[in-house]
Structure 1
Amino acid sequence: MSENLDDNYARAYNTRVGFGARPALILIDFAHAYFDPDCSLYAGVDDALASALRVREAAHAAGIPVILTEVRYQQNGIDGGRFFEKATPLKAFVKGAPTAEFAKGLVPRDDEFVITKQYPSAFFGTSLSSTLTAAGIDSVILTGLTTSGCVRATCIDAVSYGFRTAVVAEACGDRHPGPHEANLFDMNAKYADVVSETETLTFLGAKLAA
């Protein structure tokens, strides 16, 4: 087709839903594995972590709940099922592996909720949805790794569970720009508002001022 991609999608998908009144921030799988050049999951995503940490500080200042996710498997990977079988680099997340720990600069705070998961979505097989609902949360702001994997899966489940969903573009990363940009584009079209760090910080600043 000769039609411009943005013009083509705008005819069908061109809606913004906004941040919501009571958001929570989720930092998805910022594990050391993605920052270790010797690990097969290395993605060189330092800028994404730096952006997520800035958003995290703004969220705390505004009194917005902050949730971190981590991936952990038993040594034999049996709790990872077919996902562990298919995606062999997931061995980086077995219990005790240094690559499974949070990335340098990201230390969970006492007032942050940590979700341990075995599958791509932060919602699948966890208490996340019920925790957010019980807290009166109506929306989520997503950051994390990787854009084409666990961020996307969490995004789709978030909207499926009825949460308005925003994805902070600069605070997400992937091992290659192609999957990163393609998935941001598709999430923005169908499931979420893909927003900038600046837009997110402005929103959180307004929550603080209120």
Structure 2
Amino acid sequence: MSEDLDTNYSRAGYHARQRWGTRPAVLMIDFAVAYFDEGSPLYGGEGCQTALDNAVRLAAGARAAGIPLIFTQVKYQPGGANGGAFYAKVPALACFDAGAETQKLASPLTYEAGDIVIEKQYPSGFFGTSLAATLHWLKVDTLLLAGVTTSGCVRATCIDSISHGLVTLVVEDAVGDRADGPHQANLYDMSAKYADLLTTDAALAYLKETSTGETT
């Protein structure tokens, strides 16, 4: 390609901003102990820890604003009988067997009354779950994504989110990966084609605005 990527993408109209809706929900993707336990094969290091720190702030802001807060958790029957080809492809997914400490929600995040928890077995939070029906029932028009990992389940969920007709926002400092290369590359690509990026601070301001009806 004779031109740089930004120029090429600009010609194509990628990275166009969307019109955000007035009925958002926040989706926390797979914040399991597996990504924060140094002894785990899925340990994500500093990138995932930064995402968790900001997700804690985002969860508190969503609850305070009365915005739906939804968690996905990966959970398999011990041995992965319900994990199919994904479980067979990635041996480390045994970290998410039911009963394993690494399968549990990472502290200091907590499930609280009113939160919604969606169990899943595959990368996207939408695939084979009740997430789409739940968002439809709640009349959600805009979905904010936080979670781990950026290049895996966050990206898969992002693509399915826009495919379900939702304005999709990725909270860029509340998603994380085990290396900065795949993290940045996937943020760039999601921004180009599927989602708008925003910081945790901007997300909190948006949630507060929608809760008070101040959005335009």
Q: Fold match, TM over 0.5?
A: yes
Kept in 2, the 8 Å contact 1:36–1:99? The answer is yes
Kept in 2, the 8 Å contact 1:169–1:196? The answer is yes
Aligned counterparts of 1:37 and 1:77: Cα–Cα separation in 2: 23
Asked if residue 51 in structure 1 is aligned to residue 54 in structure 2, the reply is yes
Stretches of structure 2 lacking an aligned partner (at least 5 in a row): none
Aligned counterparts of 1:112 and 1:102: Cα–Cα separation in 2: 13
Aligned match of 2:130: 127
Q: CA deviation at 1:194?
A: 1.4
Aligned match of 2:205: 202
**What SS does the aligned partner of 2:173 have?**
strand
CA RMSD of aligned residues (A): 1.1
Kept in 2, the 8 Å contact 1:19–1:141? The answer is no
1:167-186 alignment runs, 5 A limit: 167-186=170-189
Kept in 1, the 8 Å contact 2:22–2:210? The answer is no
Asked if residue 159 in structure 1 is aligned to residue 162 in structure 2, the reply is yes
**What SS does the aligned partner of 2:147 have?**
strand
Aligned match of 1:36: 37
| TM-score (normalised: structure 2) | 0.94
Asked if residue 8 in structure 1 is aligned to residue 8 in structure 2, the reply is yes
Kept in 2, the 8 Å contact 1:22–1:136? The answer is yes
**What SS does the aligned partner of 2:83 have?**
helix
Q: CA deviation at 1:10?
A: 1.6
Aligned match of 1:19: 20
Aligned counterparts of 1:40 and 1:102: Cα–Cα separation in 2: 17
Stretches of structure 1 lacking an aligned partner (at least 5 in a row): none
Aligned counterparts of 2:195 and 2:50: Cα–Cα separation in 1: 22
**Given the alignment, which residue of 79, 94, 105 partners 2:97?**
94
Q: CA deviation at 1:207?
A: 2.2
Identity among equivalent pairs (%): 51
| TM-score (normalised: structure 1) | 0.96
Aligned counterparts of 1:95 and 1:56: Cα–Cα separation in 2: 24
Q: CA deviation at 1:174?
A: 0.6
Kept in 1, the 8 Å contact 2:23–2:210? The answer is no
Q: CA deviation at 1:46?
A: 1.4
**What SS does the aligned partner of 1:11 have?**
helix
**What SS does the aligned partner of 2:82 have?**
helix
